[in-house]
Structure 1
């Protein structure tokens, strides 16, 4: 490789291997990061989490709040050279809204979405929907604008042709799952004129190629960054941060100050976790301090948090959480027995061995379950395999090699911090609309719907407290603690955007 070529290639160790490439089909963070490079969005959040126009040039709303009109900016092209038009946008909104909590909320108010001309469309509502722009600017699970052809794909089926209109093109021929992903600069991309700010502003591609190099061994990846073999490491191991911070050639920085929430998800469709008592048992096995020590191991990055909508957020509340803050293994065992579990049948737990934080999280839970006599079938796999398998609704009691009882993950704090965007809280019970695990609870859905009409912060907090109460009665999932994860990059990189995650636009390599 020539020196000139090397200088225009940004090499990044991503948080996981990329195997699923449709950012609507999955909520996996690695796929959302991929989506940010390839696709563009109607609106994006700036560094202060305020929505700003991205693909949209101008917009207006009627006096009664029932009609929203949007006009796309000039020069928007897909990577195949075709223009981005309103038929693409409308199909993309409809597909995305099926799979996203805030999109579902929006569509309960939508009467129709109409193309006025190739650049202008209207969203016509049955009832006003105040958070319209914030929903269209979802930062963690963004609305990717696809060609109409792909956007008409069933949202529960993966799109396989990846053609967006973002600053980088996905090179499917160079993609080697388990090794690397390659993106090429889209030379016909027209960035906005404003400076880059968070996910908003001008997305200027200043490198020709972005390579994601998958290195599952954290020590090897850390040494590759120190040696200059890669330029950035998205989630370096927290126990090796002192070494990285001591290197004068490396910057270590937290980009997302709200952070993430550790998460244990039970399968609500089948015994024993279709019984609330079994889910309450899981909650009573959790001491967040112990889980955080395993997941993170650095108090500077940890927050014990029993607030459903995150600590240090606008909707923070720990109402009704106190009875669940102290673990009680004896009570947990009683509850599992009352739920009908016989302590003989295997409980299938998926363990992602290539995700250090998530893996350590679930190892603690596996140990807690074994301590009270649960027969744990701990099945090791990589993260990409887990994110594919968690979509399966097969009965794990009958088909333990396909179905599952429990899986771990973490959630970015921004979507978790509101009833509109908290995807695992959606409790329709429908695999087409609820997140994997598929809880069903009418009261949670009633309160989530009421939140859309809450006009003041005080009104919102009343609903938040009601949701906290129902959350701990119903236990749709178990939080294992809030934490932040710094990003590390070599100082040869300049202009790293102050977004919630490491994105490749605006970055220059100085040598």
Structure 2
């Protein structure tokens, strides 16, 4: 076996996400200068932080769900063996070191010493194995990984093995993905919960904060974990050194963004998430507020490829030629700082996964060509249904502009909007829609790209032997050159088969009070290593 010490060697940078909600043209960070001395203020212990979130999570079981609301709270409570750093590279968190056998089929992982759960129990390899066994069943990413796992084996108190049925180079990226996360919980809880979401009494992790209380529709409260065992080193992303300065963090459910901004201005909230981009100038004009941006995936139009008319690739080609994506993005997102036009499967800031090869088909706007393709296709002129969730203003805008552009070339279009829960329910049946407008947040490996998952409603029942073969090749690719070639071929397949039409990479807008110090923006609110000025 070749020894690899995680404290010394960085892992392959892997970027990307499974889950819903719109990607960004830049890495994130404050968009205007913070004159409050954000990085130079002396730490202040104690107090509370009030964070306004736009949705009440269905569960706080970060392993069980990919919901962004659950993630924003869950990563304060739970931690995994590995986590992504600021540059989206997999780095150790609860793991201390690991070994990979020469055939790539066995990973031996050592836990850090002195780790403690919120209930006072010590963290052991038995807990890690029980947690991973549950993750392989309940997590969408875990289910992908499970196809490659032969067995899990406890060696001693702090060491265990993952036996694979064949070499799988995406293992560590799967274990560090921050959706449906491979978090470590007590073995007794993992076994008791099984494939059901964790109850409130079972929300036990190792993070810098522990679960305190939850009033449905009102707030979730977490409190400082006094016995937290921090990793050494500088904080970066979800790994490195962490310290809880606040006594508690209160996540307030506030669905109206204007109410969030008003509360920020009056000091009712210290941080607000998911602010519509058209309110950016309001944030910029407020002297005590700072805009925080982060990678938020990209928006797409997904076609139902299981039946007419989009089972015909010529109709899908006509769709592409009919769409002026620059016009759609500009009208939807306005400020060019918040969107980017790029056709790759991953985004430019995802350096280890980004390829600009074979993306010429992204911008194919040509109305006359669209008309010709429709004439040559099997399209019979019947109305196509574009479905969107009316709780997201960008989805509505994209649908409305797409309707105009498609009708100009000969499509007959009907728009259908629903509130989020109904929208998700109707998405499950092909007869309910022909096109859906949706956003996908970042994913961290090609096999995690839900918009091309095979034979599912999320991909419009896409079935591609070519795509499946490339994903299989990715799982065993051993060199950067091999991976670069596969990424280029994945891009090419997208534009040959057109499972979806990418609209734009987009950024997420949050807002922070200047009283909150030493805050480092990355993929959503984090309340460790930050404090509030007195």
Q: State the TM-score bracket (shorter-chain normalisation).
A: 0.7 to 0.9
1:409 paired to 2:449: no
Residue of structure 1 equivalent to 2:166: 127
**Conserved 8 A contact 1:207-1:508:** yes
**Per-residue CA shift, 1:170-219, capped at 9, x if unaligned?**
455x3323x43333333443332434222112332222322222333333
Residue of structure 1 equivalent to 2:228: 189
After superposition, the Cα gap between the structure-2 partners of 1:505 and 1:276, relative to the gap in structure 1 and judged at 3 Å, is farther
- Among 11, 15, 29, the alignment partner of 2:68 is 29
**Structure 1: how far apart are the matches of 2:186 and 2:96?**
19
- Among 12, 30, 39, the alignment partner of 2:78 is 39
**Per-residue CA shift, 1:280-323, capped at 9, x if unaligned?**
45434432212222332111232111112223433434444434
| Bigger relative contact order (CA 8 A; separation at least 6) | 2
5+ residue gaps in structure 1?
Answer: 1-5
Give the deviation of 1:492 after TM superposition: 1.0
Residue of structure 1 equivalent to 2:425: 389
SS across alignment from 1:254: strand
Give the deviation of 1:426 after TM superposition: 2.9
**Conserved 8 A contact 2:64-2:180:** no
- Among 458, 477, 480, the alignment partner of 1:454 is 477
1:169 paired to 2:235: no
**Conserved 8 A contact 1:101-1:423:** no
**Conserved 8 A contact 2:60-2:70:** yes
Residue of structure 1 equivalent to 2:451: 424
The alignment covers a number of residue pairs equal to 484
RMSD: 3.5
Residue of structure 2 equivalent to 1:3: none
Superposition pairs of residues 352-391 of structure 1, within 5 angstroms:
352-353=390-391, 355-368=392-405, 372-382=410-420, 385=421, 389=425
**Structure 2: how far apart are the matches of 1:20 and 1:270?**
35
**Per-residue CA shift, 1:298-354, capped at 9, x if unaligned?**
11232111112223433434444434513355765765994566524x72613141x
**Structure 2: how far apart are the matches of 1:329 and 1:12?**
46
Residue of structure 1 equivalent to 2:504: 481
- Among 299, 304, 307, the alignment partner of 1:262 is 299
5+ residue gaps in structure 2?
Answer: 1-44
Residue of structure 2 equivalent to 1:289: 326
TM-score by length of 2: 0.78
Give the deviation of 1:221 after TM superposition: 2.0
**Per-residue CA shift, 1:232-284, capped at 9, x if unaligned?**
1223332332332233322223344xx53222334455555455455445434
TM-score by length of 1: 0.82
**Structure 1: how far apart are the matches of 2:248 and 2:407?**
48
SS across alignment from 1:469: helix
Residue of structure 1 equivalent to 2:10: none
**Per-residue CA shift, 1:88-137, capped at 9, x if unaligned?**
43343344345767655544443221122343210123333334433322
**Structure 2: how far apart are the matches of 1:106 and 1:420?**
9
